[in-house]
Structure 1
Amino acid sequence: MTHPTILTIILNYRTPELTLRATEAALREMQDLLGEVVIVDNCSGDGSFETLTHAAQTRGWLDGARLRVIQSPRNGGFGAGMNFGMAAGLSDGSQPDYYYLLNSDAFPEPQAIQHLRDFLTNTPKAGMVGSYVRGVDGTPHATAFRFPSIAGEFESAARTGVISRLLKASIVALPIPTSELQVDWTAGASLMIRRQMIESIGNFDETFFLYFEETDLCRRAARAGWHTHYLPVSEVQHVGSASTGMNDWARVPSYWLDSRQHYFCKNHGRLYAAAATLALWAGGMIWQLRRLISNKPRRDPPRFLRDLIIHALRRALPVARRAPRDPHLTDVLPEDLK
């Protein structure tokens, strides 16, 4: 039986050194597998494409059609960049059986890619499978999730024991599984996708610039009868938010708010989206009250709840009547993408 082919796609946006490290790990793990690696520079505009191409040539990675470095004509975000990589296909013009998406700051451990391939090969109803992801310090990262909901938004913002216990079945982040598990969705840091599934449901929705694109893809897959799985035997080391700077946001960026709003409106309708936003705000107010009473630490970017409501109101008003834009609610793109 012929083993299926894999196209590993690594998306770079102004992180060439991390991308080279991820590429080195991917090439090592792809050495005995059928397929290729492609680096997609997401129109970085900072010399990344030239740096990556030169480094690949110098290291001999371009020999034997095992690696290509290509450049997207625009920076349309994570989903658009991955769509561009999937459209590139294999170097002989054919399409692979599986696409393996790997963050530029993620480094697969031995047999991580092979385990994902074997799982999809042996599980016909599985459309996607993700890895166990841990930080460079060994800390496990939550990458197995339930789909977001009104109750889940409230619980995530309230961060209160009694509420979490009452809404246990709605908590978005699952306890980190220790064995293979079917999940609602999993993160795209290390994610293998069946080509047949992509052909049946379509690529990433490029309306999402960053965040919620994997959630939306997994929801569309589930509606079409495909399953998403989490496979802890496949291990990947991940720097985490190295390119987005999410852990250091001074204010929540509008692209996150836009993606969240689009996800809820697209999948549940505008009324549900409004209710989810109110639930998130209400939960956040509970947390703010707890902070006042018991000196709890700040967990959200400054003015998060204010920015959340302003964003929702701007989207709800007719275009001609929208209030002036808050100059502090920035549209500036992150210096890097995932």
Structure 2
Amino acid sequence: MDVELNRQDNAPSLKLVVVIVNYRTADLAIDCLASLSVPGTVPDGTRIVAVEGGSGDRSADLIAAAIKKNGWTNAVCLPLEVNGGFAYGNNRGIEYAMANFGRPDYVLLLNPDTIARPGSVTRLVEFMDRKPDAGIAGSRLEHPDGKGQACAFRFPSIANEFESEAKLGPVTRLLGRWRIAPDMPREPSRIDWVSGASLMVRTDVLDQIGTLDEGYFLYYEEVDFCIRAARAGWSCWHVPQSRIIHLVGQSTGVTRHVKPSRRPAYWFESRRRYHLKHHGAVFSVLSDLAWLCGHIAWRIRLLAEGKSSSGPPHLLQDFIRHSGPFRGI
């Protein structure tokens, strides 16, 4: 859904709006809001919209109460009646901000399971100010101990679909230039797409290509957005000086536990939607086959080494059930 992003001429200038979409993780969202209140973490005048994504619990009341109790006057809680997914919730937050605060220079999409380190968001804004051709920028995501997480990626390809599942040293070296998650340098670097856990977008990009595609319930919506921006001529950057703690999977439950939960059907549907939308049916089928070959190669290696899988349970069966060549079987 595209949104009318024009503000009234008499609206005050606004540098940044932060949108946080919560779903049944009110305690995490409140901790995220608290981290943004540390002086210098966000630019002066920043407005924050905490979207309560139809959780059906007391999340909206808890978040609104925390905002009032702590005096976070730059933040509001926007309760939604339905859980429409990541894109839906963020789009409603962007719409609300545009209608009530004016048109900002930038919008930051921030997961509720994140903690912004002091100065982190301000550094991302400063980078965007210095780089007018940058349409999108993402933070360095890390664990609480400072260890980095994969957060900057290449667009999906048949080669990296195979490599990412095969997990074989020789294959990775051979296909290194296509590896989906390359090693990132310590300085800002151009990349294909960045994680939606901390993704800043220039509002001019929204004007040109629209907001997130609500056809994705969860997953691949940021990949879709970044490829649309790239095709419109905007660059995407990873900015390691902006450091955000990401409590991986806490907002979705998919990777929350030591052993991952079963991968939900909407992951497979989002993956398929992205492939068909941007590359067509032939690419979708070939990507599925590449993934299957890589995954089977990995399982054979585990069997030969006498190891058990640490991945999501029933992943192969679920992939086959939802994939193009086998869909409906």
- Return the TM-score normalized by structure 2: 0.90
Paired with 2:111 and 2:56, the residues of 1 have a C-alpha distance of 19
Contact 1:7 / 1:90 at 8 angstroms: preserved in 2? no
Report the equivalent of 2:17. Answer: 7
Return the letter of the residue paired with 1:49.
Answer: A
Q: Give the aligned partner of residue 71 of structure 1.
A: 79
Q: Is 2:149 the counterpart of 1:138?
A: no
Mapped partners of 2:162, 2:194: distance in 1: 21
1:221 is the counterpart of 2:229: yes
Aligned pairs (5 A) from 1:106-255: 106-247=114-255, 248=257, 249-255=260-266
AA at the equivalent of 1:121? D
Partners of 1:232 and 1:165 in 2: CA distance: 24
2:321 and 2:42 map into 1 onto residues whose CA distance is 51
Please list, as runs of the form range in 1=range in 2, the aligned pairs for 1:250-289 lying within 5 A after superposition: 250-289=261-300
How has the CA–CA distance of structure 1 residues 312 and 158 changed in structure 2, closer, same or farther, with 3 Å as cutoff? Answer: same
SS of the equivalent of 1:132 reads strand
Deviation of the 1:92 alpha carbon: 4.4
Q: Distance in 2 between matches of 1:32 and 1:208?
A: 31
SS, match of residue 244 in structure 2: strand
Alpha-carbon distance, 1:218 to partner:
0.5
Detail structure 1 runs of 4+ shifted over 6 Å in the superposition: none
Aligned partners of 1:233, 1:60: CA distance in 2, in Å?
A: 29
> Which amino acid in the other structure matches residue 96 of structure 1?
P
- Which letter does structure 1 place at the counterpart of 2:69? T
Q: Which amino acid aligns with 2:15?
A: T
CA 1:120–1:315 in 2, change beyond 3 Å: closer, same or farther?
Answer: farther
Gaps of 5+ in 2: 1-11
- RMSD over aligned Cα atoms: 1.8
Q: TM-score, normalised by structure 1?
A: 0.88
Counterpart among 271, 289, 294 of residue 305 in structure 2: 294
SS class of match (1:5): strand
**Which consecutive residues of structure 1, in runs of 5 or more, have no partner in the other structure?**
317-321, 324-338
CA drift at 1:32:
4.7
Between the aligned residues of both structures, percent identity stands at: 36
Tell me, what secondary structure is at the counterpart of 2:76?
strand
